[in-house]
């Protein structure tokens, strides 16, 4: 049933990127189109700041990604806007306090990305540990010679120590997977967590004792460039660094220094600053730095669940309710 707002008009929902399933029966976009006027941005590239602002002038709801910045400029003329549904867990691209002051709900998609992102974290950890990128590059550049007992040696994982910085849902899922490898697990956060499968540790002890350090912090003012020269300098020289959180957590110049001066052995990143990272960026040239293009939640199942959760929050908000996934500060 098509919904109408207080003025008798059908609310407009602006979707900044095509959602999974498109308009197939029962798909997220199909569900929206049954009740609202749906305006989908047609390009692969996100709208510019000005294009985004123009769309928000008439929208009652918007589905955003990390590529859109929702700030005072974007919201300047957004007089109809009631809900911003972020397609993802993180929402550092949105000024939530400003939205709250304007009576605009901000929602995200927690839980549904946990397993997909934890799986990718482990894919990166294993790839970095066994030097998969370097081995594949060797084949592609005709450097694969006769079998040699000391060529392309990596590290074993069994019995090693994994340090988790940020023991939230994803950090815990990564730690749970480590149990299958019979690893020692250390974690650092604001406080100990009874359900976490590991030992609470100071950051200093975690970095000095861990063979692998995986970061799962939210990005905010206190965590920006949290992983800097001091952070990497406290790790083992044989240590491997993994980041599937946010690119802004890392001082990338300091990481480059650490990787090129034997401060740590390798890094594997799913997130960078900026995104996409230019092909000429200094990290892109390093054989001991694996980078994937922010694919932590990129499974068919996770993305469909994310889209449906965003749609649920829009429907609930525009029908006068409070969405279950409302972000609170």
User: Is residue 322 packed enough to be buried (19+ CB in 10 Å), middle (13-18) or exposed (0-12)?
Assistant: exposed
- Residues annotated catalytic, as ranges: 246, 275, 294
User: Which residues are paired to 268 by β-bridges?
Assistant: 242, 290
For residue 85, give both structure tokens. Answer: 């549904």
Phi and psi dihedrals of 98, rounded to 5? -65, -45
Dihedral angle of Cα 173, 293, 290, 208, to the nearest 10 degrees: -40
In 3D space, the residue among 304, 314, 303 whose CA is nearest the CA of residue 106 turns out to be 314
Cα 231 to Cα 20, 213, 271: the distances in Å are: 39, 11, 18
Dihedral angle of Cα 312, 316, 317, 323, to the nearest 10 degrees: -70
């Amino acid at each position: 049933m098509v919904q109408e707002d207080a003025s008798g008009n059908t609310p407009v929902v602006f979707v900044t990127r095509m959602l999974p399933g498109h308009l197939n029966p029962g798909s997220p976009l199909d569900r929206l189109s049954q009740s609202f006027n749906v305006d989908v941005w047609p390009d692969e590239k996100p709208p510019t700041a000005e294009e985004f602002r123009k769309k928000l002038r008439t929208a009652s709801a918007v589905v955003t990604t990390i590529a859109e910045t929702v700030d005072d400029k974007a919201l300047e003329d957004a007089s109809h806007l009631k809900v911003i549904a972020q397609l993802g867990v993180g929402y550092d691209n949105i000024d939530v306090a400003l939205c709250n002051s304007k009576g605009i709900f901000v929602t995200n998609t927690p839980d549904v990305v946990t397993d997909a992102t934890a799986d990718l974290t482990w894919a990166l950890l294993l790839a970095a540990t066994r030097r998969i990128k370097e081995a594949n590059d060797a084949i592609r550049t005709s450097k694969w010679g006769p079998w040699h007992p000391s060529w392309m040696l990596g590290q074993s994982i069994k019995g090693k120590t994994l340090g988790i910085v940020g023991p939230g849902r994803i950090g815990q899922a990564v730690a749970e997977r480590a149990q299958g490898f019979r690893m020692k697990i250390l974690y650092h956060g604001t406080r100990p967590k009874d359900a976490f499968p590991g030992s609470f540790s100071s950051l200093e002890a975690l970095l000095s004792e861990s063979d692998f350090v995986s970061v799962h912090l939210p990005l905010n003012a206190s965590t920006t460039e949290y992983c800097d020269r001091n952070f990497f300098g406290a790790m083992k020289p044989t240590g491997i660094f993994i980041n599937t959180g946010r690119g802004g957590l890392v001082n990338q110049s300091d990481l480059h220094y650490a990787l090129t001066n034997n401060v740590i052995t390798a890094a594997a990143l799913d997130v960078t600053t900026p995104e996409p990272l230019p092909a000429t960026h200094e990290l892109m040239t390093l054989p001991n730095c694996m980078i994937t293009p922010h694919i932590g939640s990129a499974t068919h199942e996770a993305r469909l669940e994310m889209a449906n959760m965003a749609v649920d929050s829009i429907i609930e908000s525009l029908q006068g309710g409070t969405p279950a996934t409302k972000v609170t500060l």
